[in-house]
Chains A and B, each alone.
Chain A
């Protein structure tokens, strides 16, 4: 029986999407970086494709969220990660064997890999039995893997391979190398082959940790001409076992079933995303499983942040600032204004990412979240470095805005970032008011970054958010709230900043 998918719902066949074009909003929201990061963390380029497929199916989101929740348990994660890593290794090595020219080598590798594969399947099935699971997707996988590991055909294949491997392990031969000639004979158990030990024993008194043997290192695994020549002699020395080895190879060439490769890939979606989050979690950033709905447009997010920015900052050991977002009741439009470089664009990306990530079934950046699953995400960001004149830039913006509004439905999510900056204040105000009225009529959830702070007063569905500054009046906090800011400093305050007050010093040294 085939193994069921853990990405597309129980009972579904493996739906492996081909190439899917990247949604237009990916670049604006920096989701292209997140997708690339996840694909890299998961070591599977295909993940970037899955990342482009948000869903409005609340059940599917829940299905994936449950898989994520189980995989966030270290025990479960370990089982899955080990399986995925082992499968990748086997796939890679099988490919290499395909290119090997010397049969006694290729056949032996094939045998090793088959044994490895059998161990991996058994270990995965047992590992899944040994952990507590609640996700229906993983429960189904556990059942399917248990069955796979019990199948007679699987067990028989493994036992055959083991027997053959054991026979090869017993092969032992002696050789004499003199000038350009190597001769080979069956091993003589009467003789002592311990010359190296004799050397070490003689000089043991110079070694602080006496008796420890320096490790033997095998460099490359391929055989060169001479080694292959000697191996051919050994094949002649032990003809039976090598004949059986060749026959086994012919009988079991492609032994890894497609459904297992599928399981590995799908697991990598989850593992890759979790691996991408890992450094951020270590830095203390919160993630949560959002409550989702395809009908209720309420938005709620505590300490949400821009995932792509957080990943970049985490690499430098810096921390991203989280913000609260909310649209309740009839509220639909968040109007964001405030000082430059205060985190407004970041907030707009946070807003967009929340919707996309939630619709993938992924944990989202933030402490708590409730998110609407939109039919599409539409973005309008300023296109940098436009070569044409101002007039045509405004024109271009208006064309894009018209197209955006034409594509939007009441179930879409709209994000506008600093539009109409290329015209006069009055014009911008007028144009913005018109767009605001259109958005309000549309009733789609929207975030709008604008220098026109009075915009939020023009429509009852609009809510204002402002960037804040710290107490000293200069430091940016990157925190945006629904209300305004104060500040000062002297020597003592500087000492305090260095943690050099009496109390802090005692605390620091006492630790």
Chain B
């Protein structure tokens, strides 16, 4: 089972929920940080890193001696990454989406695969769980292709050691966020009942509902703001899976880098019970079902 922890608005507590769920999970698990622009899960889980590798996107490299300046490549490229002007070919690696079209279409085979570094993937262990994260290179604009590579690494880890995965997704409701959750079995939307939280929550629901995946809500900082969120969830049939109260002590514990499931027995119980309802929501009642498959 792959559980995505997502949100529309940033800072609602995605990482808090992902870290706490990891801490209370009761079967083989990979905790994955897919918020590759600003990965934070490691700050709370403090994993030991066992391996790291650079992740690359395939981009075209020109062999000038073969090029006839026919412009077929630049005509195809939808991202303005290749431009042919007279006898000058300009390649803009940072614009390339890595579709491979120019490499495949060049009639002279004048383009060969090169690389652009997207970021670094690292993995290791955090307590009883495996850990995986992607960290986008600063200055790199495109997170979705990098997230695909992090997810390919996850597939590899799950194939070698079957179990569940918890994905800490990026905030927002556009391509990176949808890309993050698209392959998961269940989506947990973390929100706060403030006007900003509720507004972005509705956008997130609109973005993720078409994926047709089981979805539920975790209300963080419950008690703050208004009740509008609850009415919306009722209307849309979105179950409230857990509520974490608005409490300065929780905010301070978070600010000190603590996993909030470890802050009090009540909070731990909240996440143990959340673990159960997530399994129910995904239609899998037995922990470790995937592990034994």
A and B: bona fide binding partners: no
Residues of A within 8 A of B (CB): none
Residues of B within 8 A of A (CB): none
